[in-house]
Amino acid sequence: MPDEIEQSPDLGLLHDSVDGRGTGPRSSSLRDRFLKGTAWVFSGKVAASILALALNAVLARLLSPPELGAYFTVLSVVMIGSSIGQLGLDLAVVRLVAAAIGTGDAGRARSAIRSVFTYGVIGSVGVGLLLAAGLGQWMAHHVFRSSLIAAAIPLAAGWLVAWGLQSLVIETFRGFQRFDLATVLDSVFIYGVCTALFGSMWIAGRHLSLRTVVLALAIVTGVAALIGGRLILRLSHGGEDDAGPARATVVAPGELFTLAWPLLVTNITLFLVGAGIDLWVLSAFRPQSDVALYGAAIRLVAFVSTPFIILQGVAPPLVAELYAQGKRADLERAVRAIATLGGLPAAPALLLFVVLGRTILSAVFGPFYGQAGTILAILSAGRLIAVWTGSSGVALIMTGHQKAMMNINLIAGAISLAGGIALAPHFGGVGVATATSVGVALNNLLQLVYARRLVGIWTHADLSPTRLRAFLRRKAAGGATIERSGS
């Protein structure tokens, strides 16, 4: 596989642009790259969504409701901790690599990758050690009040480190627009292996502990990160052999962290808008069995936005490249097409969850989880608004307006968190879901407005089928072909 990477059209640019063998503008159009990337991301996300649902369904039968609730809480701790450990470099590497490749500066792309992984390892290991050294136990005993979570914390620290590095690997491949590698080495690999492992144990009638589940996930995530890291390392060495290190354009630490620190704050504040902190709030006020109900609803509500998430996986490098090339009209057409295609299935999915949520939850996770039907409907409504507003957050981040994104998340996150804390003691999961959906809606509507104000583009779904067909047929307004500028 490493040899195939170096010969590929996209990553081959790294070598061609360095040694002078480039042949000018690439012939692939924006529409072609959009559809090619979408095909990979679509297939991977569909497979990952099915495998993730299967994995959680199996875990719901291997673990008791309190154990499953503790698992969901530990997962949210790992997600938030790994996001902090990445120092905002996961989004920074997409923008730096995509913009460098789009402008033909392959040396700058290599320099960005080296810096990102150097600081990313330091940050991830640091946060993991902090969690293992006492912070995790304090949270388990004094915030979540769960001995199950306390027992799993040392293993969760290792999972956190593996998750952080795995995310940097995947985002690096996305920066190169190698969505095939990003897709295979991301959730498909991890969910596939773990679903097969846990599924075989369920069929055999085994009962697993929470510690065993966390250990297995940490190991599989670490293996995926090592495989991806090896491929990136091989690619980087190959480029240096061709070009020589003296010709590399260096990304200075000051430049890197000027870009990354608002993204770090943005990543953290995203969790305040319900992407993890809602589970913490509920876990602090209610038993872990209630957390299990809420966590099961979260897993299903993802299906409302799955088509949009699939298409959004293509957006960051395209946004960074087109903005760097000054193609603002093409940029708006692309992001609105993403929102439109992703939003089409969202309304039927939402309606299905509102009408049959209890039945679906019972069928997937077991009869106990049918109680979360109301929670599922409320969370789905908030997610629908997020899908309709499109890739506004990506547009802000990938065009240098990460501070605006940070401020928006802080405002919406504070409202969501305060609402969850106020409602959780009296209304449980329904109250937390309501506060979360309000925060999500406010966050995405503000992003939409500021993307228009700062970037000059709308990102919401386009109800005009004519413009969508024009984009998919490679036609811009006025009939011009949308081509990619040379590198």
Listed residues 200, 234, 264: the one ending a domain: 264
Question: What is the CB neighbour count within 10 angstroms for residue 362?
Answer: 17
Residues in the chain: 487
Residues 257 and 281 both lie in one domain: no
Residues 281 and 256 both lie in one domain: no
Mean pLDDT throughout 1-15?
33
CA distance 165 to 86: 8
Q: Which residue in the block uniquely carries the two structure tokens 């913009």?
A: 99
The pLDDT of residue 385:
85
Residues 285 and 198 both lie in one domain: no
Q: Domain tally for the chain? A: 2
**Inside any domain, residue 391:** yes
The pLDDT of residue 211:
92
Is residue 356 packed enough to be buried (19+ CB in 10 Å), middle (13-18) or exposed (0-12)? middle
pLDDT per residue over 284-316, tens digit each?
A: 899 889 999 998 998 888 766 666 666 666 677
Burial letters for 131-155: b for 16+ Cβ neighbours within 10 Å, e otherwise?
Answer: bbeebbbebbeeebebebbbbbbbb
CA distance 431 to 240: 55
Dihedral through CA 321, CA 322, CA 324, CA 325, nearest 10? Answer: 120
pLDDT greater at residue 34 or residue 189:
189
Percent of the chain with pLDDT over 90: 24
When the pLDDT of each residue in the chain is averaged and rounded to a whole number, the result is: 77
pLDDT beyond 80 at 96? no
CA distance 81 to 76: 8
pLDDT beyond 50 at 360? yes
pLDDT beyond 90 at 127? yes
**Inside any domain, residue 486:** no
CA distance 285 to 135: 19
Residues 209 and 174 both lie in one domain: yes
**What amino acid occupies position 124?**
S
Whether 236 and 97 have beta carbons less than 8 Å apart is answered as: no
Token duo for residue 419: 């609402």
Q: Which helix (H) or strand (E) holds 90?
A: helix 89-102
Whether 230 and 366 have beta carbons less than 8 Å apart is answered as: no
Whether 312 and 342 have beta carbons less than 8 Å apart is answered as: yes
Residues 386 and 452 both lie in one domain: yes
Residues 354 and 385 both lie in one domain: yes
Of the ranges 21-25, 71-75, 82-86, which is most confident? 71-75
The pLDDT of residue 484:
34
pLDDT beyond 60 at 428? yes
**Inside any domain, residue 378:** yes
CA distance 262 to 22: 35
CA distance 360 to 296: 11
**Inside any domain, residue 487:** no
Listed residues 198, 231, 264: the one ending a domain: 264
Provide the residue range defining the domain that includes 369: 273-474
Three-state DSSP at 457 gives coil
Whether 123 and 85 have beta carbons less than 8 Å apart is answered as: yes
Three-state DSSP at 367 gives helix
**Inside any domain, residue 170:** yes
∠ Cα 419 275 451 (to 5°): 90
State the pLDDT confidence band at 445, using cuts at 50, 70 and 90: very high
**Inside any domain, residue 416:** yes
pLDDT beyond 70 at 24? no
Residues 35 and 70 both lie in one domain: yes
Of the candidates 450, 440, 437, the one whose C-alpha atom is nearest the C-alpha of residue 407 is: 450
Q: Residue 229's Cα: distance from chain center in Å?
A: 18
Phi-psi label, residue 205: left if phi above 0, alpha if psi -120 to 50, beta otherwise: left
CA distance 204 to 197: 11
Listed residues 241, 264, 287: the one ending a domain: 264
**Inside any domain, residue 481:** no
Question: What is the CB neighbour count within 10 angstroms for residue 365?
Answer: 26
**Inside any domain, residue 442:** yes
Contacts for 135 with CB less than 8 Å, ≥ 6 apart: none
CA distance 487 to 484: 9
Residues 293 and 218 both lie in one domain: no
Residues 359 and 430 both lie in one domain: yes
CA distance 209 to 63: 7
Residues 210 and 83 both lie in one domain: yes
**Of 63-67, 269-273, 358-362, minimum mean pLDDT range:** 269-273
Start-to-end CA span in the chain (Å): 25
Residues 192 and 328 both lie in one domain: no
The pLDDT of residue 231:
82
Whether 280 and 143 have beta carbons less than 8 Å apart is answered as: yes
The pLDDT of residue 465:
61
Residues 308 and 456 both lie in one domain: yes
